[in-house]
Amino acid sequence: MSRSAHPAGPRHADVYPEGHYTAPATDLNELDPKVWSRTVTRDADGALTVGGIEVARLAEEFGTPAYFLDESDFRARCRAWSDAFGPDADVFYAGKAFLSRAVVRWLQEEGLNLDVCSGGELATALDAGMPAERIAFHGNNKTVAEIERAVEAGVGRIVLDSFQEIVRVSHVAQRLGVRQRVQIRVTVGVEAHTHEFIATAHEDQKFGIALADGLAAEAVRRALTLDGIELIGIHSHIGSQIFDMAGFEVSARRVVQLLAEVRDEHGVELPEIDLGGGLGIAYTSEDDPREPHEIAKALSDIVTRECESAGLRTPRISVEPGRAIVGPTAFTLYEVGTIKPLEGLRTYVSVDGGMSDNIRTALYDAEYSVALVSRSSDAEPMLVRVVGKHCESGDIVVKDAFLPSDLAPGDLIAVPATGAYCRSMASNYNHALRPPVVAVREGEARVIVRRETEEDLLRLDVG
Ligand code: LLP
């Protein structure tokens, strides 16, 4: 949303206060490559195409609302991350952003590893044939059954999140007669937000074991003495949708400091560190994300430098991008229903989905872009709020955006950058049927997660 000191265009000049919501200088038909997936473009008729297929055809075949995922873009992003980090580091895709069997297969084909954080994600990964040693298992409250399943399957690592869990995993592994590789997740005292990081008051959260007060050092002490587990490293994750590398640098420095303390106390050099995920993507043209190679360089430089000054061998680094891989690769396609101009305020554009397919706007006040995609238009911009069809006034998909003022019911509009945390956080609120995910690649589109049906809903209702 662009805000400038200039009054808005003729249609809005009298209704929007100065300094507010100026119509964008750019042509509304332009698709900013920062927020749209790589194969998205407009064809000669002005309609959006992805992977060479026009949206009207996609809507006809798969219905709306639906998520369309640009498979070549997903694969290219996987490769960009693994090339950037190179053979001496590991990239774990964070499955919580979006996971399906097809995604697991793509990850395998592109040589990535997978981070799962629940029994359900683990089951999906194993079912799709991900080799267990390439899976990391996370979570602040894994059940004993989940731990057993992970240890039995032979996951490459379990990330321990509490003192109880160190003991639990050790017991399960001993019972199963194996030695489970583990990392300890520490809270480094950095709370990262989108554009800033605050180095205070962040230990007050449920994840990890604080470095402060020597708690993490005590966790290492215990993990090193217990049977059934092999401590291979330290894990840290500082937040999500982060643009500023400074938080990662502080985190890397503190994790390396702990490695040095462990070496001094136990004579052990832990061979791995994991710096988590959290790299931001562009939801609007105002966001400026870093490229994987810049991130890789910044992280490996800081770890190498810190290790050199502590006299440590440089550990193997791993990272866990979720949003940065899948987020930009998909858009949600909606059909416009009712259009309600509110004099002096804005125009409410209702679509056939809403907070059940994208909860992020309601939950985090997240910003999104939107475009008319079934055709182009030269009509003047109108300020809109794109809302869903749920019985809730907070059911907002795009809070403030401009669409052409000739928008009409039946038009298709699309919200880009919905690949991460939209389908994976979708709900059945108001008994909405969760939309399908359709993978599009080189002129072919195929459903990878089908649309829910009323039978699916009723099957669970056994009363
Ligand atoms: N590793 C760990 C340990 C994590 O907890 C997370 C995200 C990731 C990696 C991946 O983070 P990413 O690269 O995707 O930012 N629902 C929120 C995001 C929650 C993220 C939770 N953990 C949202 O929609 O913004």
Q: Are 108 and 75 in contact (CB under 8 A)?
A: no
Q: How many angstroms separate the CA atoms of 333 and 416, rounded?
A: 9
127 part of a folded domain: no
Task: For residue 322, give the ligand 1 atom closest to its CA.
Answer: 14
At 126, list the tokens: 């194993």
Note whether 410 and 368 are same-domain residues: yes
Q: How do residues 153-199 score in pLDDT, each as one tens digit?
A: 999 999 999 999 999 999 999 999 999 999 999 999 887 664 445 44
Domain of residue 160, CATH code: 3.20.20.10
Note whether 194 and 221 are same-domain residues: yes
Angle at CA 329, nearest 5°, toward 247 and 240? 20
Q: How do residues 289-308 score in pLDDT, each as one tens digit?
A: 999 999 999 999 999 999 99
H helices within 241-398, ranges in order? 246-266, 292-310, 323-326, 360-364
Last residue of a domain, one of 271, 291, 321: 321
Supply the pLDDT for residue 202. Answer: 62
Residue closest via CA to ligand 1's atom 16 equals 421
* Domain residue limits at 439: 12-70+328-460
Supply the pLDDT for residue 6. Answer: 34
Supply the pLDDT for residue 422. Answer: 98
Residue 14 has pLDDT above 60, yes or no: no
Given ligand 1 and candidates 240, 290, 422, which is best to mutate, with the most ligand atoms within 8 Å of its CB?
A: 240
224 part of a folded domain: yes
Supply the pLDDT for residue 200. Answer: 40
Q: Are 94 and 424 in contact (CB under 8 A)?
A: no
Last residue of a domain, one of 292, 321, 350: 321
At 80, list the tokens: 């960009």
Domain of residue 411, CATH code: 2.40.37.10
93 part of a folded domain: no
Note whether 303 and 402 are same-domain residues: no
Catalytic annotation, residues: 391
Residue with tokens 């693994």: 82
Measured in Å, residue 278 CA sits from the centre of ligand 1 at 6
Q: How do residues 203-250 score in pLDDT, each as one tens digit?
A: 677 899 999 889 999 999 999 999 999 999 999 999 889 888 888 889
57 part of a folded domain: yes
Supply the pLDDT for residue 26. Answer: 78
DSSP SS3 for 402: strand
333 part of a folded domain: yes
Tell me which residue of 215, 314, 334 sits closest to 270, measured CA to CA: 314
Tell me which residue of 397, 367, 373, 393 sits closest to 385, measured CA to CA: 397
**Which residues does ligand 1 sit against, CB inside 6 Å?**
94, 96-97, 115, 138, 237, 240-241, 276-279, 320-324, 360, 364, 420-421
Q: What is the mean pLDDT of residues 255-265?
A: 97
Average pLDDT of the chain is: 92
Taking the model in full, what pTM does it have?
0.94
Q: How do residues 26-43 score in pLDDT, each as one tens digit?
A: 799 999 999 999 999 999
Note whether 280 and 179 are same-domain residues: yes
Structural domains of the chain, count:
2
Q: How many angstroms separate the CA atoms of 306 and 351, rounded?
A: 51
Note whether 267 and 145 are same-domain residues: yes
Note whether 225 and 341 are same-domain residues: no
